[in-house]
Amino acid sequence: MTRRRRQFSPEFKEEAVRMVLDGPRTVASVAREFDMNPTTLGSWVNMHKAIHPEPEQPLSGPERARIRELERENAELREKLVFLKKAAAFFAAETR
């Protein structure tokens, strides 16, 4: 015997998604409460997040400074990598 596919109203879906997004509850716990597959509820949550993206939080001063510092360090490491690749190629050619 096959199980009949359940139909959910848009209001029900929205309420289930709100329970996950607005509180500390997990997708699995809400799905268990409604006796439904957690994958189904998870896809509803993902769809809601895609349609209603959260606004990005502006960076604070220390965060902005940290990002600049990391970008500077990243550029320095890239320069060192280029130098080391050239040195390795030079010494590899010299040993032949």
Q: What is the CA radius of gyration of the chain?
A: 26
Tokens 């029900």: give the residue.
12
Range 75-83 contact pairs with CB under 8 angstroms and sequence separation of 24 or more: none
Instruction: Quick: pLDDT tens for 29-52.
Output: 999 999 999 999 999 999 999 999
Please provide the average confidence, as pLDDT, over all residues in the chain: 92
pLDDT exceeds 90 at position 95: no
Res 6: pLDDT: 87
Q: Which amino acid is at 86?
A: K
Separation between Cα atoms, residue 13 and residue 6, nearest integer Å: 12
Domain boundaries, the chain: 10-51, 58-96
Report residue 96's pLDDT band, with 50, 70 and 90 as the boundaries: confident
pTM, entire model? 0.57
Q: What is the mean pLDDT of residues 15-41?
A: 94
